[in-house]
A and B are shown apart, each in its own frame.
Chain A
């Protein structure tokens, strides 16, 4: 790790000083160190040590704020626990902010005061990014996205080839030679985005969405230039880089003159583009942004697609991505879809906005140095799944899919991991059929 210099300290403190606003000022001054947030954190539950209590993470950043910015902290630092930024502190902060927090925000509504702990951890990451202390593994993912337009470095040719064979499969599956995956079409209602893991490892989730769009008769397109919904710079806290990645997608949506951007099933991607993106760019979007979960729920509600729960009879449970549910307000929609698409849906406990993080959020999947911790925190999720007795775990997030897949193998859960689109595509009724009740026969 690079030595801390005065210049670096100055850059880091700018986040707390020049970047100060009423929200940051409030949360930096609110924690009373009651420690009652401990049990709401997956890290503390997995490793019951003082350093993993969310309040300790709050104190790390607020103690630095007190030391350099407040009168009391400058005059009597010992009294209020004000700490200097030095090499030792940097090691501790980097380890706890990057390696012991997924910024899932579960501790926030449980905090006795209402301190936005995950927001302060993000601010801490922002400071570390300014000082050049982003873990290399995470930074390399960001660099790939900046250089190639997607975090997996997939070439345009490779992407188009994948889509072409998916298109052939789609035609075969829907038995319609006109079915297609439209590429770079201008003026469509929808531009659909992807998590680059989809073309690379999970192409069937693209097929699933293409099938649904086809059945719904949607006017949509994919861009071959910029389709990546993810933004790992949101995790690193480097707002300049996050802004550049956001701008790539913004420009492509404008270029293709799409009315609505539909974000792929990606928790952090939906947060980074929908909620943080306009603030990175410092402007409102001139187009609509919604998640694929919302559009699928709307299709079912409006009758644009029909689903038959009899097609999926296994027990299904749902994992809510933190960035989609707890900080994105989308958790009823996936339940609305699943209650209509599968026969036997069971909830985890806790669930919805109180759900436990799977352990893969906050960029943990990109930071291999914290793998051991990630799997240990994930054991809580594995136990949650096991208790439901479900055979299929659905989650509208490809990051979560990755983590749940690893948990499935490590803890021998014996489940299938699917996205919402895959479930809907499996239970969808072709356009020329209607859903039948128990005593009716299929009308073709």
Chain B
């Protein structure tokens, strides 16, 4: 195994181990004991939390901020795609032909989206007040990873740089806010439990 791939692979192992540590710690803390009598059911509410409650037509964070929301969605899709490509590269498979061109195009687009989110954070006073160095670093590392992945598909001589970038990102992921990779799912679950018990989610039909 070449040293660059070895570095990225080691980083992946550390990243996965750290994410599992976060996840098991979460399980270890356990659910808070709730003695109140439930008014609704938890399972449909948790399902709702992961599905219709995420509908952009229902969330002001989406429909009041369509450009940012759209950029965010493309950015996250770019991240999923980059992770999939990392796995493919690790398995020594490199896409080719039209498929490769589409991927390159999408990753350049997602890089631009990531960059625009970063620029927004820098220029908007309210967002600057809210931000700490981790917010900028996390955004930069992920955006750079998309960009370098695309460049590597264009020119495969860049693989050493690619694996170093991937390794740095994977090592940083469990430290800062990128660990929302784990906590996002836990937060949606907890919200479903809370609103489900209270009979808020899923919304009741007329006539109750």
Partner-B contacts on A (CB < 8 A):
20-27, 29-40, 48-51, 53, 55-56, 59, 63, 72, 78-81, 108-116, 119, 274-279, 281-285, 288-289, 297, 326-330, 332-333, 335-336, 353
Contact = CB atoms under 8 A, between A and B. Distances in A.
B62 A112 contact: yes
A231 to B, nearest CB: 14
B70 to A, nearest CB: 12
A36 B64 CA distance: 9
Interface stretch (B23-31, B100-108, B145-153, B162-170): B23-31
Contact of A327 (B68, B180, B183, B198): B198
Given A50-B125, A115-B187, A25 B26 contact: yes
Interface centre among B40, B194, B203, by most A CB within 10 Å? B194
B35 A50 contact: no
B115 to A, nearest CB: 16
Given A79-B132, A278-B36, A285-B37, A112 B59 contact: yes
Nearest to A26: B186
Given A33-B135, A329-B198, A49 B126 contact: yes
A278 B35 contact: yes
27 contacts: A21-B31, A25-B29, A29-B180, A29-B183, A30-B186, A30-B187, A33-B130, A33-B131, A35-B126, A36-B64, A36-B65, A50-B125, A80-B134, A81-B132, A109-B58, A113-B183, A113-B187, A116-B194, A119-B194, A276-B36, A278-B34, A284-B35, A285-B37, A329-B39, A332-B206, A332-B208, A335-B206
A20 B29 contact: yes
A279 B186 contact: no
B35 A25 contact: no
A113 B133 CA distance: 20
B53 interface: yes
B199 interface: yes
B207 A27 contact: no
B207 A336 contact: yes
Given A23-B190, A34-B61, A50-B125, A353 B200 contact: yes
Nearest to B137: A79
Contacts of B112: none
Nearest to B186: A26
- Size category, B interface: 35 or more
Contacts of B183: 26, 29-30, 113
B95 interface: no
A279 B176 contact: no
Interface in B11-33: 22, 25-27, 29-33
A22 B27 contact: yes
Contacts of A279: 33-36
A114 B127 CA distance: 19
A34 B126 CA distance: 11
A275 B31 contact: no
Nearest to A77: B132
Given A26-B26, A56-B130, A114-B190, 13 more contacts: A23-B31, A23-B194, A34-B68, A35-B126, A111-B61, A113-B188, A279-B33, A279-B36, A332-B205, A332-B208, A335-B206, A336-B207, A336-B208
B126 A23 contact: no
B180 A30 contact: yes
Nearest to A288: B37
Contact of B134 (A37, A50, A79, A329): A79
Contacts of A39: 60, 64
A114 B49 contact: yes
Interface string B99-141: 0000000000000000000000000111111111111010000
A32 B180 contact: yes
Nearest to B129: A50
Contacts of A297: 208
B93 interface: no
Contact of A329 (B34, B37, B124, B200): B200
Contacts of B200: 326-329, 353
B187 A333 contact: no
A327 B197 CA distance: 10
B133 A22 contact: no
B176 A21 contact: no
B98 interface: no
A24 B204 CA distance: 28
A110 B29 CA distance: 27
A276 B197 CA distance: 12
Contact of A56 (B25, B31, B69, B129): B129
Nearest to A274: B36
A29 B53 contact: no
Nearest to A325: B200
Interface string B172-190: 0001110110011011101
Contacts of A38: 126
Contact of B177 (A20, A25, A33, A275): A33
Interface centre among B27, B72, B183, B199, by most A CB within 10 Å? B183
A411 B154 CA distance: 64
B191 interface: yes
A297 B208 CA distance: 10
Contacts of A275: 36, 198
B37 A289 contact: yes
B200 to A, nearest CB: 5
B40 A283 contact: no
A35 B130 contact: yes
